[in-house]
Amino acid sequence: MERKIRVLIAKPGLDGHDRGAKIVARALRNAGMEVIYTGLHQTADMIIETAIQEDVDVIGLSLLSGAHMTLFIDVTKLLKKKNMQDVLFIGGGIIPKEDVSVLKKAGVDGVFGPGTHTEDIVVFIKNNVKL
Amino acid sequence: MNDIASKVLKGEPRSVARLITLAENNSPDAAIAMKDIHPNTGEAHVIGITGVMGGGKSTLISEITREYRKQGKKVGIIAIDPTSPFSGGALLGDRVRMMELAMDEGVFIRSMGTRGMLGGLTSAVYDVVEILDASGKDIVIVETVGVGQAEVDVIKIADSTLVVLVPGLGDSIQTIKAGVMEIADIYVINKADRPDVNQTVAEVKSLVDIDCSNKDRKKPVLTTNARNGEGIKELVNEIKKHKKYLDNSKEFDNKRMRRYEAELIEIIKKRLMNLIFDESKFKEKVESLIYKIFKKEVDPYTAADEILGKILK
Ligand SMILES: Nc1nc2c(ncn2[C@@H]2O[C@H](COP(=O)(O)OP(=O)(O)OP(=O)(O)O)[C@@H](O)[C@H]2O)c(=O)[nH]1
Ligand SMILES: [Mg+2]
């Protein structure tokens, strides 16, 4: 069987900056993954629905500020509710240190701050994905 | 009945999604499930959409789907983007234009990379069409990679094929000449809000006039603006008219037969390749024959005959 890692990359929230998300999406593609890119303004429900239909192994959300904390928490809750804990959930952006531990406690598997090399994300996914 | 297949027949999205993954990965479990899926297919109208890159295919699909939804039809969408030949990865971005459909329970969208297939249609697409059909979708829409990016394989899978063009620059004419003339059932000039649309329509129509691939039916040329929905209703009417035309002619059965032919060839190709190059039984034999070809002890044709002879005996 030729298994390929499928990743959903989305940019929740209202602001229109998806540069970071696109850079990560391209890096993961170049690492041999299939990246489903859904663009801006995604709600937690949309992210989960898309993750189900696309049967992804990884959800990666980009956020620019701590303002999206609640959305992250919502996604972790929905993942539990829908019995989708085998999906690896990662997030990246400008996240204050104190929030990182909150996110991890809530069930976000990996949190990547500014200055993260895309290569680190690739390695993290390859090491932690449940295929 | 096979467990995952019975859940697919009930329309359970997670089972549909999982079976599609198994099919994409060439899992033996998929082949088993497809035995129960296949008898429950054939009802869905399969619409193929191809055309120039960036022509608005995904946006158009979103609008077409909304129109079908208004009419109470359930819709499955397969959006195909090219797999990078270098990394094997793919950036699947068609969903960006279909965001409004994300929360509609009557719509199931799946993004696929072309993976190994040169033709632009991954061989698993045949399975995915059947899975969506069996799951209760009335309409299955397949968006292929743009013409010029890959060949025009979509015809083999679709009942009705739309070729999407845009106004200006004679690109559209080049696209038609590049070999989509025979495969188009309906021409769509999208981005009709752009200048030069009338000229492009006239040019395409003049090509349709000299097209003799079907004497019974003149191919319609429609204009749409996928951004504001203009012309979508008319387009969906035209697609339904084409389906009626097929139902009333021998062509429909013929089209479906050709689809199964293409699928059968794909499966055999895949199985043969696996048998020859993956199974340890033949691997050594193949390797030693390659060495003999290299040493000029045997020519490639004789070597190929020898391998095939071993398999077929
Ligand atoms: N002006 C105008 N722009 C349109 C129209 N339809 C689509 N677009 C825009 O054209 C761009 C490409 O649209 P897509 O729907 O992604 O086109 P596509 O053919 O699916 O593109 P690929 O899948 O990349 O080949 C987007 O910016 C759309 O908003 C239209 O009718 N008029
Ligand atoms: Mg598209």
List pLDDT tens digits, range A5-18. Answer: 999 999 887 666 77
Contact B111 A46 (CB under 8 A): no
Q: What is the pLDDT of residue A83?
A: 95
As a whole-number percent, the residues of chain B with pLDDT over 90 amount to 61
Could you report the per-residue pLDDT of B34-47, keeping only the tens digit for each?
A: 999 999 999 999 99
Residue B176 CA to ligand 2 center (angstroms) comes to 19
What pLDDT is recorded for position A71?
86
Give percent of chain A above pLDDT 70: 92
Closest ligand 1 atom number to CA of residue B61: 15
Cβ(B91) to ligand 1 under 6 A?
no
**Domain range list for chain B:** 1-38, 41-249, 263-312
Q: Is residue A1 part of a domain?
A: no
Asked if residues B129 and B65 have their Cβ atoms less than 8 Å apart, the reply is: no
Q: Which residues span the domain enclosing A108?
A: 6-128
What is the C-alpha to C-alpha distance for residues A19 and A23, in angstroms, rounded to an integer? 6
The pLDDT score that the predictor gives to residue B120 is 45
**Counting Cβ atoms within 10 Å, is residue A86 exposed (0-12), middle (13-18) or buried (19+)?**
exposed
* Mean pLDDT rounded to a whole number for chain A: 89
CATH code for the structural domain at B41-249:
3.40.50.300
Residue of higher predicted confidence among B250 and A123: A123
Q: Is B31 on the interface with A (CB under 8 A)?
A: no
Q: Which two tokens stand for residue B240?
A: 């339904």
Tell me the sheet residues that pair with B79: B111, B143
- Atom number, ligand 1, closest to the C-alpha of residue B146: 25
Q: What is the pLDDT of residue B63?
A: 98
Pick from A104, A114, A12, A8: nearest CA to A67:
A12
Q: Output the pLDDT for position B268.
A: 87
3-state secondary structure of B205: helix
Intervals of chain B under pLDDT 50: 119-120
pLDDT, position B119 = 47
Regarding the beta carbon of B191 and ligand 1, being less than 6 Å apart is answered: yes
B76–A contact, CB cutoff 8 A? no
**pLDDT for position B302:** 96
pLDDT value for A19: 80
CB-CB contact of A68 with A99 (8 Å):
no
Closest residue by Cα to atom 21, ligand 1, is B54
Query: Considering only CA atoms, which of B149, B161, B163 is closest in space to residue B120?
Result: B149
The answer to whether the Cβ–Cβ distance between A1 and B21 falls below 8 Å is no
CATH number of the domain to which A58 belongs: 3.40.50.280
Average pLDDT score over residue span A42-55:
95
The answer to whether position A32 is within a domain reads yes
Domain count, chain A: 1
Nearest to B89 among A31, A39, A45 (CB): A31
* CB of B73 closer than 6 angstroms to any ligand 1 atom: no
Angstrom distance (rounded) from CA A34 to CA B123: 17
Q: How far is the CA of B302 from the centre of ligand 1 (A)?
A: 51
